[in-house]
Amino acid sequence: MIYRGTYSRFAPVSMLLAASVLLSACGGGGGGGSDGGSSGDADLADLSGIIDIAADTRVDRDYADLWQANDSGWQGITRNDSPETAQLLPVPAVVSGYLSASPGTYDNGLVFPDDGLDYYHAPLEPDDNVFLQVFPATDGSPENIGLSVTIDGQELCQNGVCTQAEGYGMSLPRSLAEGDSEIRIAVTGGEPVRYVLTLAPLGGVLSSNAAWPEPALAVNEAIVTMDQVTVQSSSATALGQRPDVQVLRSIGPRTLHLRRPETAMAQSASGSAESDPRQATVDWIRELRAETGAVVEPNYLFRLLATDPASNVPGYSNPDNRWNLDMIRMAEAWGLTVNSGAGTGVGVAVMDTGLFSPTPGSYGPWHDDLDTNVIGQSQVEQLDFVSRDYDVDSSPGRDVNPATPPTPGSAMTSFHGTHVGGIIAAEDNTSGTVGVADDSTLFPYRVLGVNKDTGEDGSGTVADLVDAINAAVARNDIDVINLSLGGLPDLNSLKQATDAALAQGILVVAAGGNSGNASAVYPAANRGVVGVGAVSLSGALASYSNFGQSVDLVAPGGDVGSGADGIYNAWCDVAGSDAICGADNVDSWSSGYAYLAGTSMAAPHVTGVYALMHRLAEGSGVPMAQDRFRALMIDGRLTTTVDPLLNYDLAVHGAGLLDAYLSLEATLSGDFPTVVSAHPRVLFLDADARDVPVALEILSPTVSSGLDITGTVSVPDWITVTDANGNALAASQSLPSGLTLSVNESALPSGRLATGLVTIPYGTDNRVLNIPVTVQVPDDTVDRAAGRHYVLLIDIDDSGDDNSRQLVSTVQSGQYPFSFNDVEPGQYLLVAGTDLDNNGIICENGEACAEYPVTGSPQPISVGDNGISGLDMTTSFQRPTLAEMGLPRYGFEGYRIPEGGSPSSGNNPAKEVSLP
């Protein structure tokens, strides 16, 4: 879509919701930013409102737009380019800034100044988190920018490490001296850049989303799930009648994999030739949702959650390579399995990249450490679930052979699934490695292939994963599913698949995520799925490991570093050579070993221990299933919290560090407790969080009805807790099936974070449900700043009337007031944001952005004859999560500021195109 006049927007209009926002109110606005129009025409309306600033937001004191707006350049501006003029930041803080090693001119004629240094100081403490994201002001590559970050003289990152695509993050070392730390961000070359620096205590922020989320998806594909029979019938009929829908296959109960036929694509393209195909896919999905009433979701791609191998040198006889097994007391645990076998007969489904074979074109033989434990070919119909578009083996598409094929055009093929399978089930054959459950039966489901667009190894689609999970559930010889993968949003189709596994008693174990924060990672964050975080060789939470909702307990995952810092297990080797296994030497592949680190490595430790427990329970006559495992875990019977290096925290480590010996002891006892599980089990909230739902589930071998609250419910003063209907909780009442939590912002204590427990005693054996809650305490509103804001009122009618308007608003007591006078009737978008790099575009990644009514989901405003006030928005350098947006939008690069004012529309003067 093209906006009339000099406004243009780098996103298709179809990303907007169908309904307009219909507003009518009396009066005009006032204050701060005004476009200077005159009021009085009965057919015209005045629009006004306030733009609030998100908590803890700060802006670099010498950004480029401020320089161009000042008649004398930097004169009179206190720059933060030296230690003496360092800018004070709170903790937590989200600060955005601008840097350029030299001045220059953009292609549109706008100029930018040089600004090679930014200094800040902040009250940092050990274990605080630092996260940096860098965005070039033009189309250049971030890797070519010479950028470095130091704290108190210690270099955190430089060049390509600082500017990696998903951002650089780290937890500050415990050796850091508490106090006022100096932060220096410097650039020595490359093009001008925007950056966002996030400072937060452990658990202080959910995530650092400075970029618009653009998750990878399968273009022109979707997944539809239908929960009710009536909806299923009507939706299926509606889908069958649509010319733009082709049903590819059923991937589970009431779950279909759809594709948009090429004829429908061509018709769509003719109407929007410039549309991003990913965005066109989202538009199609939005239409299907609206017209069928079914739950329709993108077919997202997911990925592995491990590092690249750090070494390929055999040496398992070295005790240092067994630190992970020693940490969870495997030697002691195996002593309890003598009469039952180490997982004998227990079916373990590893859904991953498949399995190493020296002859990948055939079903086996497998890695020397796994060969006898892999399910026989005659016992399976299908183990390769990778769709043809992502499959690179000799028989593209689904088949029985899960062997990992060589990755075309790549010097290295990923054997992630082999490594994961080895942690679980490597044979005790006097050589190589030993798995946790070395007698278990391995089902190597291949669900990860190669991304057809990027060539990245270890990518798969949700449709394939859901199909594989449902296929495993349909069998009667699989007891546990390991998912060392993630990177997905909350999806109904995936939730239905994991729910189906749980209903069959199958335990689902998943990697908790490698982004180093409390953001929810799926499938680990699905209800009932056991999410596993990672600890390092030292016993501390690994710097990359997520915590919070996605982590129910922790296990060894290794450090991101060299050699023995990682987890040592099965991989591929090139016979008689130090070469890496790739497509050019596939004829020489042989069994090898490597070190990997990640929550991908932590999860299979839990899966293997469950396999031991399952077999031991069979021998004792008391069967084990997923609900009993989870009950023991919640009861603290499978873990330890006393390791001094662990620095245990319920909100971070969940039930604690996996202890295999304690797990088997608990199994032998035959005592399965009645406990209550909360989902999510831990909450990290913003100060304005309201009506947050928490589902409760009773896990019990005997209780079929409800449980009573047996004592006083303890709640922090700054939290309100009721049942789902808004009723208070009290002793002797029945425990509800769900809770609703809200933050009392006015009651929050001073300091960085408010942390506390919601404690509910229940049952006849005096158990207690503890739900950790952490709230980021907001700073004073008047201290917030996000830079000069351009407020755009964009006419989307494209009528040629030149009705679009623009004004500039500066911060006043932590807010940006704005007022447009004499607005013609019509439909408009109301957006605002900063132009930190002075390239004439607002709302780019790394810049502040506000869209009405909600950033990420703008809707048109329908303007009539009456004035409209109270158009309130919130601006932030962070971006909404995919869960907040509902559906992603692709190819969005911001809103262009007009290159010249238009007297007829009453616009303020726009950016000048001139040299300083």
How large a percentage of the chain has pLDDT more than 70?
A: 88
Q: Supply the pLDDT for residue 323.
A: 92
Mean pLDDT of 432-451: 94
Residue 903 near residue 874 (C-beta atoms within 8 A): no
Residue 816 near residue 832 (C-beta atoms within 8 A): yes
Residue 25 has pLDDT above 80, yes or no: no
How far apart CA 393 and CA 360 sit, in angstroms, is 8
How far apart CA 112 and CA 536 sit, in angstroms, is 45
pLDDT band at 292 (very low <50, low <70, confident <90, very high): confident
Residue 241 near residue 252 (C-beta atoms within 8 A): no
Q: Supply the pLDDT for residue 396.
A: 87
Active-site residue numbers? 352, 416, 600
How far apart CA 434 and CA 425 sit, in angstroms, is 7
How far apart CA 214 and CA 455 sit, in angstroms, is 18
**φ, ψ for residue 57 (rounded to 5)?**
-90, 135
Residue 776 near residue 517 (C-beta atoms within 8 A): no
How far apart CA 173 and CA 195 sit, in angstroms, is 23
Mean pLDDT of 351-355: 97
Q: Tell me the sheet residues that pair with 740.
A: 693, 722
User: What does the domain layout of the chain look like in residue ranges?
Assistant: 13-55+781-905, 57-200, 217-293, 304-669, 688-776
Q: Supply the pLDDT for residue 163.
A: 84
pLDDT band at 37 (very low <50, low <70, confident <90, very high): low
Q: For residue 332, what is the enclosing H or E element? A: helix 330-334
Residue 303 near residue 593 (C-beta atoms within 8 A): no
How far apart CA 874 and CA 687 sit, in angstroms, is 14
Residue reference for tokens 């070190």 = 595
Residue 126 near residue 175 (C-beta atoms within 8 A): yes
Closest Cα to residue 355, out of 380, 326, 330, 318? 380
pLDDT in tens, 729-770: 999 999 999 999 999 999 999 888 999 999 999 998 889 999
Q: Supply the pLDDT for residue 310.
A: 61
Question: CA 535, 511, 371 angle in degrees (round to 5)?
Answer: 100
How far apart CA 523 and CA 366 sit, in angstroms, is 28
Mean pLDDT of 607-636: 93
Q: Supply the pLDDT for residue 13.
A: 36
* Domain 57-200 in CATH 2.60.120.380: yes
- Of the listed ranges 228-242, 430-444, 520-534, the least confidently predicted one is 228-242
**φ, ψ for residue 561 (rounded to 5)?**
-175, -145
Mean pLDDT of 288-311: 83
* Amino acid at position 459, single letter: S
pLDDT band at 122 (very low <50, low <70, confident <90, very high): very high
Handedness of CA 903, 905, 909, 911 (dihedral sign): negative
Q: What is the DSSP letter of 11?
A: S
**φ, ψ for residue 625 (rounded to 5)?**
-145, 175
Mean pLDDT of 256-278: 71
pLDDT in tens, 215-226: 999 999 999 998
The larger pLDDT score, comparing residue 912 to residue 96, is at: 96
pLDDT band at 902 (very low <50, low <70, confident <90, very high): very low
pLDDT band at 885 (very low <50, low <70, confident <90, very high): confident
Q: For residue 603, what is the enclosing H or E element? A: helix 599-620
How large a percentage of the chain has pLDDT more than 90?
A: 64
Question: CA 431, 433, 439 angle in degrees (round to 5)?
Answer: 95
Q: Supply the pLDDT for residue 80.
A: 96
Q: Supply the pLDDT for residue 42.
A: 59
pLDDT band at 697 (very low <50, low <70, confident <90, very high): very high
Q: Supply the pLDDT for residue 30.
A: 34
Residue 801 has pLDDT above 60, yes or no: no
How far apart CA 160 and CA 141 sit, in angstroms, is 10
How far apart CA 391 and CA 395 sit, in angstroms, is 8
Q: Supply the pLDDT for residue 790.
A: 96
How far apart CA 130 and CA 205 sit, in angstroms, is 11
How far apart CA 33 and CA 227 sit, in angstroms, is 49
Q: What is the mean pLDDT of the chain?
A: 87
**φ, ψ for residue 447 (rounded to 5)?**
-125, -5
Q: What is the DSSP letter of 211?
A: S
Residue 512 has pLDDT above 90, yes or no: yes
Closest Cα to residue 187, out of 225, 228, 135? 135
How far apart CA 915 and CA 68 sit, in angstroms, is 9
Predicted model pTM: 0.90
Mean pLDDT of 130-158: 87
pLDDT band at 236 (very low <50, low <70, confident <90, very high): low
User: DSSP string of 471-524?
Assistant: HHHH-SS--EEEE-EE-B---HHHHHHHHHHHHTT-EEEEE--SSSSS---BTT
CA distances to 9, 21, 463, 889 from 858, rounded to whole Å, are: 13, 10, 30, 11
How far apart CA 361 and CA 491 sit, in angstroms, is 34
How far apart CA 698 and CA 763 sit, in angstroms, is 10
Omega before 444 cis (within 30°)?
no
List the structure tokens of 6: 């000099």
Mean pLDDT of 65-87: 92
Q: Supply the pLDDT for residue 319.
A: 67
User: DSSP string of 269-321?
Assistant: HHH-TT--HHHHHHHHHHHHHHHH-SEEEEEEEEEE-SPPP------TTSGGG
Q: How many residues does the chain have?
A: 916
Q: Which residues contact 473 (CB under 8 A, 6 or more apart)?
A: 497, 500, 501, 504, 506
Closest Cα to residue 467, out of 494, 429, 449, 428? 494
Q: Supply the pLDDT for residue 718.
A: 97
Residue 56 near residue 90 (C-beta atoms within 8 A): yes
Q: Supply the pLDDT for residue 6.
A: 37
Which superfamily does CATH assign the domain made up of 304-669 to?
Peptidase S8/S53 domain (3.40.50.200)
Residue 628 has pLDDT above 80, yes or no: yes
Counting Cα atoms < 13 Å in the Cβ hemisphere of 214 gives 16
Q: What is the DSSP letter of 734?
A: B
**φ, ψ for residue 494 (rounded to 5)?**
-70, -35
Residue reference for tokens 């509910």 = 760
- Of the listed ranges 614-623, 694-703, 775-784, 839-848, the least confidently predicted one is 614-623
Residue reference for tokens 């296929």 = 471
List the structure tokens of 698: 């009773």
Q: Compute and round to an integer the Cα radius of gyration of the chain.
A: 29
Residue 570 near residue 433 (C-beta atoms within 8 A): yes
Residue 709: helix, strand or coil by DSSP?
Answer: strand
The larger pLDDT score, comparing residue 27 to residue 137, is at: 137
The larger pLDDT score, comparing residue 68 to residue 63, is at: 63
How far apart CA 474 and CA 428 sit, in angstroms, is 30
CA distances to 167, 202, 752, 857 from 125, rounded to whole Å, are: 21, 10, 11, 37
pLDDT in tens, 147-164: 999 999 888 888 888 888
Q: Supply the pLDDT for residue 432.
A: 81
pLDDT band at 916 (very low <50, low <70, confident <90, very high): very low
Residue 297 has pLDDT above 60, yes or no: yes
Mean pLDDT of 873-884: 91
Helix, strand and coil content of the chain, in percent to the nearest 5, comes to 20, 30, 50
pLDDT in tens, 546-587: 999 999 999 999 987 656 689 999 999 998 788 889 999 999
